Amino acid sequence: MASMRTALAFLQTGADATACVAAPLDPVLSPRDGSPAFFAPDFSLACERAWWFDTDATALHTLSKAEWAERFPIGTAGLITPSWGAPDERRFAEGFRTLTSRLEDGTLRKGVPITVMTASLAPEDAPALFAQLLSRVPVLPPNLYAYGFYRPTADTGTGSPEFLIGATPELLFEIEGGRRLSTMAVAGTRRSDAGLASLEESPKDRDEHQSVVDDLLAQVEAWGRPRASGTEVRVFGLLEHLAVDICLDATAPLDFETVARRLHPTPALGVYPRGAAGTEWLTGIDPGGDRKRFGAPFGLRWPWGGGRCVVAIRNLQYRDGQLEIWAGCGVVSQSRYPDEWQEVLDKMQAVRATWNV
């Protein structure tokens, strides 16, 4: 197994390319010109120092799958298998209930209730588990973006390491050449092996997905005239979703953090329409900020200013002895509680299967 004595951050940047830095990561207010930087806020974007970068910019490397497998090999020791508790249905049910009342009175058209399942993990076992998870990055299903970070105990100051690792289907945005902006609307969920009617034939899923499309088109119009692809069903490992690609050529140079803050959270993880009522509901379903980085932006800004930012879902989070898997689902007026709860369970199972935990 790879040694986890130093901090590490990574983000998949291509089908066979993952950018990775293994060096001390210092939290800062904003990135330096000419330096690569990782953007890793929590969901609320309230973290004052949301940027991390290494003190030596040459430490950032782009690895192929073969190079990754060589650097982070599968260990020969026994695998760590966490003992998971049951998903917190009460948290999800309360979010569903409070959202339903807002859907009925027309305050909102869509929201995303969330829940969590947890497992205890001793801090001394966390480095080995993270190394175990890293070794799976080269064999992740196609169409997923791998991402994550690791902070050793020496850096956290809590007596425990901290990590996040995931494989998300959602690109929040990519900036190329300073002005070329790409994003994607992803919503609606089926197990890819379910053999059910197509997502495209489901009024509920089409409605849920269209809210994401409409919102993103409205948000990016601030920078230019967007172009959208047709809606299609795409397979992302064990799950499939409706997806639309959106791109534009901006009329002025784009700033990475400005784009992230404008687009986050899309209705895929937040609410539709945006506004004070939706923000109040989102705060109400997680008043203590327990979700941490679940659903938050996670990105890498290149030294020249462009970069890629994903939506941090389908992940495992670890801190202070607790390993967590969070999940949520889009709820609209046509939604039925049993179906939505099953979707959440399917997403949690997909995370466990993807990472072999």
Which residues have a Cβ under 8 Å from the Cβ of 321 and sit 6 or more positions away?
A: 120, 121, 122, 123, 160
Rounded CA-CA distance 99/281 in Å is 8
CATH no. for residue 233? 3.60.120.10
Position 79 in a domain:
no
- Can you give the pTM of this predicted structure? 0.95
Output the pLDDT for position 1. 41
Q: Which two tokens stand for residue 260?
A: 């992230």
Report whether 176 contacts 247 (CB < 8 A): no
Position 347 in a domain:
yes
pLDDT tens figures, 296-343:
999 999 988 899 999 999 999 999 999 999 999 999 999 999 999 999
Position 1 in a domain:
no
Report whether 339 contacts 199 (CB < 8 A): no
Position 228 in a domain:
yes
Residue 325 is which amino acid? I
Whole-number percent of the chain with pLDDT over 70: 96
Strands 307-311 and 297-301, bridge-based pairing: antiparallel
Rounded CA-CA distance 275/329 in Å is 20
Q: Which range marks the domain in which residue 312 is found?
A: 8-72+85-355
Position 77 in a domain:
no
Position 80 in a domain:
no
Query: What string of H, E and C letters represents the secondary structure of 122-174?
Result: CHHHHHHHHHHHHCCHHHCCCCCEEEEEEECHHHHCCCCCEEEEEEECCEEEE
Residue 198 is which amino acid? S
Question: Digits of tens for pLDDT over the chain (357 positions)?
Answer: 445 778 999 999 999 999 999 888 888 898 888 888 999 999 999 988 999 976 666 788 999 999 999 999 987 666 889 999 999 999 999 999 999 999 999 999 999 999 999 999 999 999 999 999 999 999 999 999 999 999 999 888 888 999 999 999 999 999 999 999 999 999 999 898 866 567 888 899 999 999 999 999 999 999 999 999 999 999 999 999 999 999 999 999 999 999 999 999 999 999 999 999 999 999 999 999 999 999 999 999 998 889 999 999 999 999 999 999 999 999 999 999 999 999 999 999 999 999 999
Query: What string of H, E and C letters represents the secondary structure of 11-34?
Result: EEEECCEEEEEECCEEEECCCCCC
Rounded CA-CA distance 69/142 in Å is 16
pLDDT tens figures, 88-118:
999 999 999 999 999 999 999 999 999 999 9
Structural domains counted in the chain: 1
